Amino acid sequence: MNRLLRHTLLLLAFLAAGPFLSAEKPNVIVIMADDLGYGDISAYGATRVKTPHIDQLAEEGIQFTSGYCSASTCTPTRYSFLTGTYAFRFPNTGIAPPNSPAVVKPGTETIASLLRSGGYKTAVIGKWHLGLGGPEGPDWNGELKPGPREIGFDYNFLLPTTNDRVPQVYVENHRVLNLDPADPLWVGNKKPSDDHPTGITHRDTLKMDWSHGHNSTIHNGISRIGFYTGGHAARFRDEDLADAWVDQSNKWIEENKDGPFFLFFASHDLHVPRIPHERFQGKSELSFRGDAIVQLDWCVGELVKTLKRLEIEDNTMIVFCSDNGPVGDDGYADEALEANGDHSPNGPFKGGKYSVYEGGTRTPFITWWPGKIKPAVSEEVVCTIDLAASLASMAGIELPSDGILDSFDVHEALLGEPGAKGRGHLVQQDNGKGNNYGLRVGNWKLQRHDSGKARNIVVTNKLANTNVSRHRLYDLSTDIREENNLAAVHPEVFEDMKAQLAKIIEDGRSRF
């Protein structure tokens, strides 16, 4: 009887824990590049810049040809990636200003909080740009909360905004790193004094000139968006950002090597101002923008090197992606456009950053897991917004009914399982101010331009806004550049997709 009872209890325990025992819990590193286009790495066709470490991920893993982010600017993509919910559903998810309060509110379920509930250690290292602090904004000289630690991250080491916006300091967990209380940090929207140096008043002192907008406070010979004073001991050099991200990431990985762990490695490359470390300057044919790609590739190689040194690469999945498509002149005179020549940052697509054309949201997307993922090229549609549901599913974690509203479980496609399918439809958005959308269903693509403008079309090496009709329909199988509007040719498809997009927006969720 004792033996029978013991076997019965073991069987009941096994059945109760079945989903978790069968679930795979690899370490996960999401490497998100910044403003990296589909055509910016050699695995996706670039010839004038070499990316051997990223190419190795593609050669040994799955290279997706229909991999997307959900928005064509950074803050909404990052919001959607973390929350599994389209950013257009919530206010104030456009490009966050320097003093933005926390965009993702405490209590919101995120990819980090889900994985932490399943036993993962979690960290975000790199660019944040999702605001910090309560409704009044960040207290730069006090505790910067709420922030990442209030939405599921155990550790954070951040660039708090984006580096063309002030301040140029690191935030570790809840505080500005190395801040001297005797030299308090002030951040504001107005010039603090008449003699405060700016990119306008002291333009002749700049080591990189501005082309538009980025002409307020000067730091490290570069003028930025916004104003700040003080905090001098806490300020960093632009050239050292990538090294800091890699050093902190390697340290954190080593501390958590026994896993499982989740690391969001949020690179700042290739965002402006593009000032890579001196050892990478001149290493490409594409001016500082290309040099930043080389630096990004080095970062990837260093992370993989650490995994191999610690002998945990066979239990680690890397997802490589970008937060939006490419941009040339984004506020600084760094010769990004002039140096392009025959290099096409957006690959075969039209548009880029700020746009709902394919070039705005279709980016490099690679999954790598030695011993688990077999090398392949996949045409399945996957998106950064799907990582929350997909990783939760892999770890045996149930999704909440009132969160992760637009994330689909496509983990089988991410792992390259035979016959696996990606998502059936995808909504793309711009930065939120224009309320422009794209809807892809199969090879059909609907554009809805509520602003009446199509943004970021490259015309003679300059960026322009083009007047367009509100709705337009394209067949991506024959018109990858979205140039032939088929609304009048396929009226039934046109009307069905207009109704489908409107319903997705109005329903408040697409995961049921």
Establish if 140 belongs to a structural domain: yes
Residues 266 and 401 both lie in one domain:
yes
Domains held by the chain: number: 2
In a domain, residue 1? The reply is no
- Residue 387 sits in the same domain as residue 458: no
What CATH number does residue 60 fall under?
Answer: 3.40.720.10
Range of the domain at 497: 427-507
User: Who contacts 314 (Cβ-Cβ below 8 Å, separation ≥6)?
Assistant: 370, 371, 372
Token pair 């632009």 in the structure block, residue: 238
pLDDT given at position 458: 55
Which strands, in side-by-side order, build the sheet including 62-68?
A: 175-176, 171-172, 155-159, 121-127, 261-266, 27-33, 316-322, 365-368, 62-68, 376-383
CB-CB neighbours of 221 under 10 Å:
13
| pLDDT in the model for residue 19 | 37
Residues forming beta bridges with residue 383, ordered by sequence position: 68
* Single-letter residue type at 273: P
Q: How many of the other CB atoms lie within 10 Å of CB of 505?
A: 18
In a domain, 179, yes or no: no
In a domain, 244, yes or no: yes
Question: Domain check: are 452 and 327 in the same one?
Answer: no
Do 373 and 320 fall within a single domain? yes
Tokens 């890699």 label which residue?
246
pLDDT truncated to tens, each residue of the chain (512 aa)?
444 444 444 444 434 443 333 357 999 999 999 999 999 999 999 999 999 999 999 999 999 999 999 999 999 999 999 999 999 999 878 889 999 999 999 999 999 999 999 999 999 999 999 999 999 999 999 999 999 999 999 999 999 999 999 999 999 999 999 999 999 999 999 999 999 999 999 999 999 999 999 999 999 999 999 999 999 999 999 999 999 999 999 999 999 999 999 999 999 999 999 999 999 999 999 999 999 999 999 999 999 999 999 999 999 999 999 999 999 999 999 999 999 999 999 999 999 999 999 999 999 999 999 999 999 999 999 999 999 999 999 999 999 999 999 999 999 999 999 999 999 999 999 986 668 999 999 999 999 999 888 876 554 445 567 888 899 999 999 999 999 999 999 999 999 999 999 999 999 999 98
How far apart are the C-alpha atoms of 497 and 79, rounded to whole Å?
Answer: 25
Shared domain check, 411 and 462: no
Q: How far apart are CA 197 and CA 107, in angstroms?
A: 41
What is the 8-class DSSP label of residue 102?
P
CA–CA dist 358, 345 (Å, integer): 12
Domain boundary among 373, 393, 416: 416
CATH code, domain carrying 459: 3.30.1120.10
- Greatest CA separation found in the chain? 90
Residue that finishes a domain, picked among 392, 416, 440 = 416
Query: Which residue is listed with tokens 């990636």?
Result: 81
Tell me: do 84 and 123 sit in the same domain. Answer: yes
Q: Which two tokens stand for residue 500?
A: 């489908």
Burial label for 177, CB within 10 Å (0-12, 13-18, 19+), is middle
Domain boundary among 394, 416, 438: 416
- Flag whether 229 is in a domain: no
Does residue 263 share a domain with residue 399?
yes
For residue 212, being part of any structural domain is answered with no
- Tokens for 75, please give them: 């803050």
Judgement on whether residues 436 and 373 belong to the same structural domain of the protein: no
434 and 411: one domain?
no
Give the separation between CA 335 and CA 319, rounded to whole angstroms. Answer: 30
**Shared domain check, 494 and 407:** no
Does residue 232 form part of some domain? Answer: no
Residues 378 and 279 in one domain: yes
Residue 406 counted as domain residue: yes
> For residues 133 and 345, what is the distance between their CA atoms, to the nearest angstrom?
36
Same domain, 398 and 451: no
